[in-house]
Amino acid sequence: MAGTASAVAPESYISKIWPQGIFENRVVFCTGGSGDICSSQVRALVYLGANACIVGRNEGKAERVAASIAKARPDAKVLGIGNIDVRKVESLEAAVSKCVSTLGGIDFVIAGAAGNFLVPLINLSTNAFKSVIDIDLMGSWNTAKAVMPYLLNSAAKYPGAGGRILFISATLHYTGGPLNTHGVVAKAGVDALSAQLAIELGPRGITSNVIAPGVVDGTEGERRLFQDARGEMMGKVPTGRLGTVKDVNNATVYLLSETGDFVNGSVQVVDGAAWRIGAQVGAGAEYPASVLVERKATKL
């Protein structure tokens, strides 16, 4: 679905130091690809030469975002596949097959699909906990499993320059924090999963790494999880500002290009050192009031 809007200005999402064409003939497959962070990562890779397939739950949105990303480079091919829920293995496998049959393979994967909300643990239902584990952790596993044969092919075809998977995680589980038990547990699992892939698939030429963004300005995550505490967060980040999609994209290119060849099993934190002083999800809440709000009602 072609839109009429013009291409997003490259300087807003990628630094000039990366030469265009470095990802020529490469294909990136991305879950959560309609989201603010992942769509921007893919846009940067497409600008630098890759073709791409983004998948998401919302059909119209996936197509619209793909059409927008395709404007990043004149001859770019970008597929947008909607109705894909990373919790449903079959739908994910179908999307992977369509990507491979249309674009010729998969060289890079960004496992970015995630769901989140803030709620005191005492009010967190088992189904709510399971939902986030299923989307973030099981969804990451389902993605890795579905793309694995193609990543192995890519690693064999482009030694040192193909077969790479990147998980989008977070920093909240380094310390833990109020209101996000489901997210903390899920992201800890995602980091562990990435490390396991690095260990077991490293000998086959695959690299697996994590990007852990902090608060990224102008994204859904920032709006949903941090809006009330935005000013406070900004003041706390040691680097003195919120993150940008460009910050995350530069780290992505570093990890997926030749520069990341020997970087495997790592976690690249892109947060201006915010987590080190506790400027994370829930940090703006009035702890412990936020988590004790139901104390009387539940007779702990």
Instruction: State the residues that interact with ligand COA by CB under 6 A.
Output: 114-117, 119, 125, 127-128, 131-132, 135, 220-221, 224-225
Give the separation between CA 70 and CA 151, rounded to whole angstroms. 23
Task: Take residue 94 and report the two structure tokens written for it.
Answer: 């179908």
Owner of token pair 């997003």: 8
CB of 124 to ligand COA, least distance (A): 7
Of 101 and 127, which has the nearer Cβ to ligand COA?
127
* Cα angle for residues 80, 86, 91 (degrees, 5° grid): 70
Place of tokens 């934190």: 269
Give catalytic status of residue 131 as yes or no: no
- Check if the beta carbon of residue 105 is closer than 8 Å to that of residue 27: yes
Name the minimum Å distance from CB 182 to ligand COA: 9
In this complex, which beta carbon is closest to ligand COA, that of residue 106 or of residue 133? 133
Shortest Cβ 143–ligand COA spacing (Å):
16
Cβ 13 to ligand COA, closest distance in Å? 19
Is residue 169 among the annotated active site residues? Answer: yes
- Tell me which of 187, 194, 208, 236 is the catalytic residue: 187
Residue with smaller CB distance to ligand COA, 61 or 157? 61
Q: Which residue is nearest to ligand COA (CB)?
A: 115
CA geometry: angle 38, 44, 50, nearest 5 deg: 100
Q: Which of the residues 140, 169, 194, 208 is marked catalytic?
A: 169
- Smaller CB distance to ligand COA: residue 97 or 123? 123
Identify the burial level of 182 via C-beta atoms within 10 angstroms of its C-beta, where 0-12 means exposed, 13-18 middle and 19 or more buried.
buried
What contacts 217, CB < 8 A, 6 or more positions away? 241, 242, 243, 244
* Catalytic residue IDs: 169, 187
